Structure 1
Amino acid sequence: MRASPQRRTSFLDAPTSPRNRDAVTLVSLQKKSVTQILSATGDELAAEVEVASPLLDTGSVLLQQMPMCILVLIVCLVALQLGGFVTLSILGIPPRTGAVFMHLASFLASVTGVRCAYLLKKALSSQTLLAALCKLDQFVFDLKLEWSTASRKEFRVCVAAWILVTALYSGLQGREVWKTGLEELPWPKYVASISLAAVEAVVFMMSSALVITTSFIHSNLLLGLDRALDCYCFCVMADMDFEVAVSAWNSLQALLQCIGREFSDSFFTSQASGGLGFAVVLASGMMLAYQTAFDGSLLAQELAMALPVLFFLALNLRVFYHASSLTEKCAHIPAFVNQIPTGSSIDLDRQYLVRFISDSSPGFVVKDLRISRSMFVKLCIFTGGVLSALLGVLSRAY
């Protein structure tokens, strides 16, 4: 009689149910593998997070404690703002051509801020992500002081950026209000215009705070992962235990995949909104150039209203740079391990670690797309080329 086959116990084994078999994909198996590496399943995961809760940054704590009614309030104010635009158009007060950029900045910031805040609040409630952050704290334990210093510096930069962009937006909005007052509108129409400008300014201040908080959370985690790679390289060179280094790299790679997966939606949303705003500014700028007959001084004054939108583009490029730098550092680790002197001309353990790291395709991955330094350089070249061409047109027109 034939011996019965052994019972499958691995989560990688094929399921017996046809319904479950349809749900098995490479992505789902990767997620299960990462979860198992992080020793994060069910009650064990919850217990680990409860015992060693991760030290969240200021932005994450603010988002976690922020009630959902704040997001609902922003959505209601945006709806009120759109209704005000329609009402003013009916009253015969169409928006100025340059003021369209102000409306675009406010609407773009509100949509991006609300969407990213919701996605991040959802991600920060994930037990898998909290377990990954606990592991990240363990990795950077020796360099936590340096990470804390970088985190505080990043927080100060973000606060200064928010103050700068809100002051810029308020100044440009005040300029538009002053222009409206020069048109000698009837008192009811003037009050309606002022009220709409005030609502728009409040929406922009709240939404830009959410956008910059999202940028800070992304940058802070990317800096933490960067410090984790530094700590890993230091431990490999100090201990020269390549067998332990293989296991440590497996955990570190799981960290990269887990954090990239949990934050992929918010990262993609912020980057896409910045690119969309840049495209709209370019299209509107060319249309404005033809409407003003390429009057250089008038065109420059109106395009100054687009500075808040371009600010969000610069903010997204900064986060994109941190992500590409993380992938670039991962690509350099095999060469670093390969040059560690071991006293042996041919060290098979070291060579196995080099191949293991290279074959794991390390880096920061968003939506199955690895953010590389070459992508960042191409993006900067494209953005710089388009902006230089636009400035060239303006200089010739002026």
Structure 2
Amino acid sequence: MERTYGTSTCAELPFPGVCYAHFHVCSGLELAIDNFCLRLFKDQDMEGALSEWNVLSATLRQASQKTCWSLLALGAACTASLVLFASQVVEMPQILGSAFDTALWLGWLYPPLLLFLYAMYRAASVTEKAMRVAPLVNSWEFEPAEENGETVALDPGRQYVVQFINQSEAGFYVFGVRISAYMVQKLAYYFLAVTVGLIANLTR
């Protein structure tokens, strides 16, 4: 049993490093979105904002494409660990006979699982921030636009930028699927449901 725990601990050492690299990438993407909003508010250049948003959207897609395999590996590792734990609980419930053994198993399983869920949450936060750019731009009050010498209540340039940002659907994509906070919540719910089921199996 001690050898198993030692091997598992050594195997999990790269896990936090991969998660940290993913956190760093997501933080950079969020800062890039914030920088776009600040420049647009400062310069109020709607035409330049279109090209800048194209570059930013391409950057988000490229960065998410490069890191999606690491997310897949993290998710596969967590799923395999959870399946192994479930099989051990069902076949040999005596392995959790003492509080110390239970703490060792849970300490081996759940820290990587929580790191993976937080990594998914950081990916979803990039998407959520990108989705809030259009409402943010739409809420700003710029100088009144003029057309044929008359003041126009609605700025057509700003409305075009807002629609362009909305229709670009920028965000963090994993194999073509845009990660959202709702998806991460469902994933956390599934893991929680499995955990509750295992605990219920132990207490029968």
Query: Normalising TM by the smaller chain, what interval?
Result: 0.7 to 0.9
Given candidates 190, 193, 204, the residue that maps to 1:382 is 190
- Counterparts of 2:8 and 2:88 in 1: how far apart (Å)? 22
Question: Normalised by the size of structure 2, how large is the TM-score?
Answer: 0.85
Q: Note the alpha carbon deviations across 1:39-62, whole angstroms, 9 max, x for none.
A: xxxxxxxxxxxxxxxxxxxxxxxx
- Counterparts of 1:355 and 1:278 in 2: how far apart (Å)? 43
- Counterparts of 2:86 and 2:99 in 1: how far apart (Å)? 13
Instruction: State the percentage of identical aligned residues.
Output: 26
SS at 2:132 equivalent: helix
Structure 1: 5+ residue runs without aligned partners?
1-98, 100-172, 174-196
SS at 1:224 equivalent: helix
Query: How far did residue 377 of structure 1 move?
Result: 0.7
Q: How does 1:358-369 map to 2 (within 5 A)?
A: 358-369=166-177
Q: How many residues align?
A: 195
Given candidates 100, 104, 109, the residue that maps to 1:305 is 104
- Counterparts of 1:225 and 1:275 in 2: how far apart (Å)? 27
Contact kept? 1:285, 1:303, Cα under 8 Å: no
SS at 1:263 equivalent: helix
- Counterparts of 2:196 and 2:8 in 1: how far apart (Å)? 32
Q: What is the RMSD computed on CA atoms of the aligned residues? A: 2.3
For 2:75, the aligned partner's letter is Q
**Cα gap change, 1:203/1:311 in structure 2, threshold over 3 Å: closer, same or farther?**
closer
Given candidates 201, 213, 230, the residue that maps to 2:34 is 230
For 1:369, the aligned partner's letter is V
Query: How far did residue 218 of structure 1 move?
Result: 0.7
For 1:201, the aligned partner's letter is G
Q: Note the alpha carbon deviations across 1:250-284, whole angstroms, 9 max, x for none.
A: 11111101111122222211122112212321232
Matched, 1:276 2:66: no
Given candidates 146, 156, 174, the residue that maps to 1:348 is 156
Q: Which residue does the alignment assign to 2:147?
A: none
Contact kept? 1:363, 1:371, Cα under 8 Å: yes
Which of the two has higher C-alpha Rg?
1
Q: How does 1:206-221 map to 2 (within 5 A)?
A: 207-221=11-25
Higher RCO (CA < 8 A, seq sep 6+):
2
Q: How does 1:1-398 map to 2 (within 5 A)?
A: 99=1, 173=2, 197=3, 201=6, 204-205=9-10, 207-289=11-93, 292=94, 298=97, 300-306=99-105, 307-344=107-144, 345-394=153-202, 396-397=203-204
- Counterparts of 2:100 and 2:119 in 1: how far apart (Å)? 29
Contact kept? 2:130, 2:170, Cα under 8 Å: yes
For 2:177, the aligned partner's letter is L
Query: How far did residue 221 of structure 1 move?
Result: 0.5
- Counterparts of 1:330 and 1:343 in 2: how far apart (Å)? 25
For 2:86, the aligned partner's letter is L
Query: How far did residue 299 of structure 1 move?
Result: 5.8
**Cα gap change, 1:203/1:375 in structure 2, threshold over 3 Å: closer, same or farther?**
closer
SS at 2:141 equivalent: coil
Q: Which residue does the alignment assign to 1:143?
A: none
Q: Which residue does the alignment assign to 1:6?
A: none
For 1:216, the aligned partner's letter is Y
Contact kept? 1:218, 1:319, Cα under 8 Å: yes
